[in-house]
A and B are shown apart, each in its own frame.
Chain A
Amino acid sequence: MTKTTLIPVGPQHPVFLEPLNISLKLKEETVVGAEINYGFNHRGLEKAMAADFRRTIYMCERICGICSFYHSTAYCQSMESLFKVEVPERARFIRLVMMECQRLTSHTLALGHTAEAMGYESLFMQLFREREALMRLVNDISGNRVHYSINTIGGVRRDIPMEKQKEMLSVLDGLETRFAKLAKVFKDDRTIKERTIGKGVLTKEMAKKYCVVGPVARASGIPEDIRTSYCRDLDFQPIVRDEGDSYARSMVRVDETFQSIQLIRKALTMLPEGPLEVPVKGNPSGEAFIRLEAPRGEVIYYVKAKGTVDLERIKVKTPAFVNVAALSAMVPGCEMPDIPVITVSVDPCICCTER
């Protein structure tokens, strides 16, 4: 009869970018259970966001630095439905292009993070070199590297002019060829395969039970992607795998990177002419509910307004909240050294989760 050992991982841990604490229950080298402790990053943003609906665009981008544009888009869309205005088509497409750009930066970050957790320092560096090209691209378009701040209620504030579109396409072409080489490492490298295949398996039943979303759900065989509804005109098909292990989750991200590049190309060729924003006046009232597909899964915004500058309630549901919880179903039976790789393969985003 072996004793159960309790090992705390985090809140400060070299693998995690953010403060997350996992208490692992170990029997010898095998993990038998995990308890996830939240709350290190809770700032009370939902209350702060409800203070003034005009400032919320600024505040909601600060929920998360990796998917900031999704938060501001979801918020602006819910406000637009409260004001009953229709966003110009050009603005809708610019939002879509920027969202896909952010998905690219997020997925390359997640893959780089996975590589680093496995000890693939060189792969991590190369992925981040490619990511830097993307960061410079979005910096050129929006003026910011992290928080794009180009959304406004009723449209977008910055255009993507013709010469920027050409530049964008050439950057993406270069990125695609270079990224294909790196993706091959992820796909075929023997060590990566051995460290990820069959590790941290989340079966379809468990995935449904934990209500996981995004790449984690799609790697467990659930074809859920909100983009199927709002990217209809771009002929979008979600990428689904059935294995449900760390390898499948990484591969979904790898494939989605190429898919995002394709989506940006298509969206740029279809970019309609027209105004960028419609004017919005007065204070909002009523209720709105918006779903968007962020890099980690669906993000939900619920806004209730009461006709004044402050909002009655703004509720955000972020993808990482459910995905991180599913970790406790993935880790039992694994060995201690696999924990960082499994955790990172879920792509935890604590700032989103806790707000």
Chain B
Amino acid sequence: MLEDLLSAAILVFNWQTLIAISLGTIVGLMIGAIPGLSATMGMALLSPFTFFVDPLVGIPFLIGLFKGGTFGGSVSAILIGTPGTAANAATLLDGYEMRKKGKAGDAILGALHASLVGDFFGTVALIFGAPALALIAIKFGPLEFFSLILFSLTMICYVSGPSLAKGVLAATMGLLFALIGTDPLGGTPRLTFGLLELQGGLNVIALVTGLFGITEVLIQIEKFGPIEKAKNFSKDVYLSSIKENISLVSKHLRTIIRSSMIGTFIGALPGIGSETSPWVAYGLAKRASKKPENFGKGSLDGVLAPEAANNAVCGAAMIPMLVFGIPGDIVTAILMSALIAQGLQPGPFLIVEHREVIYGLFMSVLFATFALYIFGRLTLRWWMKILTIPPALLYSLIVAFCVVGTYSVKTSSFDLAVMFVFGVIGYIFRKLDIALAPMLLAFVLAKILEESLRRGLVMVDGNLMAILQRPIAATILFLTLLVLITFAIIEFKKRKNSKT
């Protein structure tokens, strides 16, 4: 196997492939950093071009794009409080707080280092553990997915801020908003008020850019007086040296490793990795932390956890696609169609019949990890310059980016209306001290939660108890209960202590 990898390394180590990876990473970083534009969309738009070039040029380009885009989203989450995609929203919780405290450099460099470790984990799992992880992944039917999503929803406990009740309120509203659209089983439109545009459901990008981007702009506008007064803005572009940051981050190695493992495992399950794992990693990091009260107020752990997790997904998500030909989400679907267009049919024979190309692919996934680090690092100083833009100009630019990004997803002006409506909803929530994260988390997970439960119930003839007969699902449900009970006990003790 190592021999194969080495000979593949030589195959991949040519200038075309390296340029393809580098270019993909750079484009990904830029697309990811722009609110509303996501790596997914970039890949979809650019994938047709890869049909007509050598497999070890086109596909590495897309992989670079995927990885770059996944990290790029954290740049805007940390620096301007607007996550590029739903996958980076968890990074915002503490990343943006760190930036407010003048620690943007630590946050963003830490995010890069965490991404590097996470990415490496996912890649190693892909190269060495693919068959084993795939065997677990294939056991995940609808009821297993339902249990896992239910478990992920308990993370609301950890992202609700000071008031759990308000967090649950926000989450419930997120669930309700997710019901708008078309019934996934019957196909009947529901809660659409007769609007054709609502039949596809609310666009998650419009929701994210509205809730975070537009809301933040509205909050900031309050602070603007006459133009002269707005001159006192932060120019804190200090970026510590790599050495300093590594020694800072290495104190949090436990968080990074745990989160990388979470990202790798959830990433290997088709379809739910990038949007679920950052939240689970964040919640579990807070749970394990000695200072959970710092989360949401600029805790470095709160940045490292989601970033390690979402980049670990990049490599792992390719496992079910390559081994079984089952793509989980649009990103892997695009990669798969690029592979098929090159005559590489994913499935049981892929690795046997196309050993050279697949090991070449593995090596380019590994190279992309380093390309991500190199170009991420090189462009950081450049991203930090965002902080020197005067607020009035910066926030107008954010609105412009949010509009362009959201519009371009489906070229729909209705989505823009949705974005602004959620901007206002977000503003009201923030004024009432209701956390926004639970709403987004619930919204993102609700669709899979509902679908997997309802499909699962059809298959077991509506007998809910059948879940307990499935070992994986039952175990996850047990863990869910455990998290809820321990959380309740801790909260109860806290209240008791504060009373005495």
Co-assembled chains A and B: no
Chain A residues with CB under 8 Å of chain B are: none
